[in-house]
Amino acid sequence: MSDFDLTPLRETLTAYAPQGRSGLLPALHAAQKLYGYIPEPVAVEIGLSLDVPLADVSGVIDFYRLFYREPVGKTIVRVCTDPACALASAEGVLGAFNELAGAGTGEASGDSANRHKNQLTVERFPCLGLCAHAPALLVGEQAVGDAAPKQAAQILNQERPMAADHVGGDARTLTAYCGRGHFTSLEEYQAAGGYRALGKALSRSPEQVIDEVKASGLVGRGGAAFPTGAKWLGCAGAPDEPRYVICNSDESEPGTFKDRVLMEGDPQRVIEGLVIAAYAVGSRRGIIYIRGEYTNAFYIMGQAVLEARQTGFLGENILGSGFDFDLELRLGAGAYICGEETAMFESIEGKRGFPRIKPPFPTTHGLFGKPTVINNVETLCNVPYIIQNGASAYRELGTDRSPGTKLFCLSGDVVRPGVYEVPFGVTMRHVLFDLAGGVPGDRSLGFVLVGGAAGAFATVEHLDLPLTFEDLNAAGLPLGSGVLMVFDSTRDVRDVLLRLGRFFTDESCGKCYPCQLGTQRQYEILGRVAAGTPLPGDADRLTEVGWTMSDASICGLGQTAATAVISAMKLWPKKFNT
Amino acid sequence: MPEDISLSIDGTKITVPPGTTIHKAAESAGIPVPTICYHDHCTANGLCRTCVVEVEGARVLAASCVAQVSEGMVVYTNTERVERSRRTILEMLASAVDLSESPEILSMMEETGASHERFPGAERRQPSVLDDNPMYIRDYAKCVLCWRCVQVCAEDAQYTYALNFTGRGFETQIGTFFDRHLPETTCVFCGQCLGVCPTGALKPKREWLLEQGSTMEEVLQATHVKRKRRRKE
């Protein structure tokens, strides 16, 4: 007999059992809520009721950072120590919590080893998407920003409301209602013209909607910049059914928090964009997959979906058009790789988040092997504007080859970190200095990490570069997810690289050899470089490992895991030599 | 019938049926492309990436075991880029895994000029040998994570699903449900996984014991399985 009362679990599982394996992540989340972790008998029960082989159940538990097979403390503190938070003494904060947990503060003992002490589990954690509130952490599910090491005990003992996100910029087309500290209700959204675009879309043919989006020149905002209209057309034309639409809200790229700000500020816009996408491609079922750490955004999107359903923007016969569509929210469980589209399909299907071999591509073989459109949050938020105002009005913003606006995530050594929405084509100087207030105090700009962990470094020489896909590309800077992480001239790029290196090692899924082995080797070499003690030949090793990952990895994670390193080696070669 | 596809591999023009992988096409042209994880009877997953080739016009290298040919494709199996990736992958593998019983990989290293000492101070995967049943041992310090055992245990052959993964990234290992000993899992000791293991990570227990220097007597003792005999009533 088991020590665990499985009765509540069995009740809960009746909701997930009909989904079969696809219900695995939701079931594991629910089980962990009940028991604090996922003990063996609980995993057995889940496997049996969802018809998932037991070895696969533990394989899935092990893959996702937020699932535990061992007991954990009542409170779990997850401290981000990635670059932006590290600038604001995140290591000190981690150390303070480790002390509270009764463990040492050193690097070796600081990494998720301190289970059970004082009912407190402290973990070093990858970027939480709270970079504008550095140093940031999660206490349980509660986000805490601007933490100081000496406040650790206080943070544990009393609630501390999160400050509103600073949102600014020159053209607030998508972010008009973001950054107010609360989210827009459906009523407010409608009063401001919301859901008119959906009505307009439904009065046209799906082909016309796709044509409008194509004409707008909208490209994906998740990092790959794929033309949205072409993606929709590919899915709409795929012969198989059913078709799925997915909103990729697994925002986990270090330095990126714009999708969280959009969801937490104006959730109906995300839903409206997704419903229009569904209508355009002929999909009746959608999923919004939100990263596991974004519990607040998950809650807000859940409320918004309920409201939209009650009002008839989701469900059967939407706005009397005869079009049926509904969506489900999915919560990730701590895996950056699940932001990769095919890994996300695997995750929704209840598997380890391993990226698939492409081709075939998602537009024809996506979720459950069916035609699927998967778009980033910011991408979808552009859609209502495009449909409502028309492609030519949309193209008045931005440049010819980069139409529209872009959300930039400013963090690090800047006076006003936050999300800035600007038309494509303004300069980096404008965003960094005019909008975000430049580098604080009397310090000067050192370098900027552009595009995220998978990005590259810019220096003062790049400041007058217009922020467009074409100009950044020409300068070898990936726009990525819109990260501009700022470092003053006293900062050491080698420490930044070490943290990025750790991020990729931690987040590699382990499927393909170049990334599974390369991220680890890269991290080890970066450790020596950051300590100022590289071995002879380390620069060559870094280069070869980097290019091997870039050239030979299966997916975008591995292919970009060395981008920042290679960019830094070009800019500052001396820093990598003995 | 769909028309055959013409392509060029290392300058040789060949024609193959549609759906052929680049790997098979190259093989048919007498151009061997090395691979570690690929096995004719397992689903190809393109994991090891030692079979990568350069396809003209493509941004990244293609895993030839899964990438299919297309009309007019121009493929190179031995460019500098290809060789750098192939060699570095082998060097990284040698720095992490005990390849002493992987003759195919060792000769691949020799052919590509890969060094065994390329990565000094590198962390190795060195879990201890799992000896939990009388039939076979699991020495994951020798495991290259080709996935073949997991696949033949599942849909590629046996449908027993005793094996899956633990951890992720560099820390990935093949494992059972909650690290249970094999006799407590769904394993039926069919031996399919041993048959496809390319590195000696999975090995019959008798062979392993003999290598450890056990006497025949001890080997028989350790691997004797009491069988329940069914009697006709």
Residues B4 and B78 in one domain: yes
Chain B residue whose CA is closest to A514: B89
CB contact under 8 A, A357 and B63: yes
pLDDT tens digits, residue range A360-417?
A: 999 999 999 999 999 999 999 999 999 999 999 999 999 999 999 999 999 999 999 9
Contacts of A357 in chain B (CB under 8 A): 45-46, 63, 66
Residues B142 and B120 in one domain: no
The Cα–Cα gap between B157 and B38 comes to 15
In the predicted model, residues of chain B with pLDDT beneath 70 are 1, 228-233
Predicted pLDDT at A438: 98
Long-range CB contacts (within 8 A, 24+) of A359-367: A361/A234, A362/A235, A363/A231, A363/A234, A363/A235, A363/A238, A364/A234, A364/A235, A364/A238, A364/A240, A366/A235, A366/A244, A366/A246, A366/A341, A366/A342, A367/A244, A367/A246, A367/A287
Count of the separate structural domains present in chain B: 2
Indicate which CATH number applies to the domain containing B183.
3.30.70.20
Residue B189 domain flag: yes
| Cβ(B27)–Cβ(B39) below 8 Å | no
Residues B40 and B117 in one domain: yes
Contacts of B36 in chain A (CB under 8 A): 513
Residues of A with CB under 8 A from a CB of B: 40, 43, 53-59, 62-63, 69, 335, 352, 357, 505-514, 516-521, 524, 528, 535, 541, 544-545, 547-548, 550-554, 559
Contacts of A43 in chain B (CB under 8 A): 177-178
Indicate which CATH number applies to the domain containing B20.
3.10.20.740
Q: pTM of this prediction?
A: 0.96
> Which one, of A222, A223, A250, lies nearest residue A25 by Cα?
A250
User: Chain A within 8 Å of B193 (Cβ-Cβ)?
Assistant: no
Residue B229 domain flag: no
Residues B112 and B143 in one domain: no
Q: β-pairing, A244-249 with A372-376?
A: parallel
Contacts of A521 in chain B (CB under 8 A): 92, 95, 119, 122
> What tokens does A419 get?
């999300």
Residue B199 domain flag: yes
Residues B116 and B143 in one domain: no
The count of CB pairs under 8 A between chains A and B is 152
Q: How far is B104 from chain A (nearest CA, A)?
A: 17
Residues B177 and B84 in one domain: no
Residue B97 domain flag: yes
User: Chain A within 8 Å of B83 (Cβ-Cβ)?
Assistant: no
Residue B208 domain flag: yes
**Which of A53, A535, A544 has its CB closest to that of B84?**
A544
Residues B186 and B76 in one domain: no
Contacts of B92 in chain A (CB under 8 A): 513-514, 517-518, 521, 545, 548
Residue B218 domain flag: yes
Does the domain at A75-157 match CATH 3.40.30.10? Answer given as yes
Predicted pLDDT at A311: 97
What CATH homologous superfamily does A183-395 map to? NADH-ubiquinone oxidoreductase 51kDa subunit (3.40.50.11540)
Tell me the residue range of the domain where B207 lies.
136-223
In the predicted model, residues of chain A with pLDDT beneath 70 are 1-2, 103-118
CATH class of this structure's domain A405-488: alpha beta
CB contact under 8 A, A505 and B170: yes
User: Chain A within 8 Å of B88 (Cβ-Cβ)?
Assistant: yes
Residues B1 and B98 in one domain: yes
CB contact under 8 A, B119 and A43: no
**Which of A510, A550, A553 has its CB closest to that of B172?**
A510
Predicted pLDDT at B3: 87
Predicted pLDDT at A115: 41
Residues B32 and B119 in one domain: yes
Residues B34 and B110 in one domain: yes
Burial label for B146, CB within 10 Å (0-12, 13-18, 19+), is buried
Predicted pLDDT at A4: 85
User: Chain A within 8 Å of B159 (Cβ-Cβ)?
Assistant: no
Contacts of A550 in chain B (CB under 8 A): 60
- Helix H or strand E segment including B216: helix B216-223
Domain boundaries, chain A: 7-63, 75-157, 183-395, 405-488, 493-576
**Which of B36, B84, B169 has its CB closest to that of A508?**
B169
Residues B85 and B179 in one domain: no
Residues B19 and B74 in one domain: yes
CATH class of this structure's domain A493-576: mainly alpha
The Cα–Cα gap between B146 and A119 comes to 40
pLDDT tens digits, residue range B169-183?
A: 999 999 999 999 999
Residue B231 domain flag: no
Q: Which of A521, A525, A566 to mutate to test the interface with B (most CBs of B within 10 A)?
A: A521
Residue B232 domain flag: no
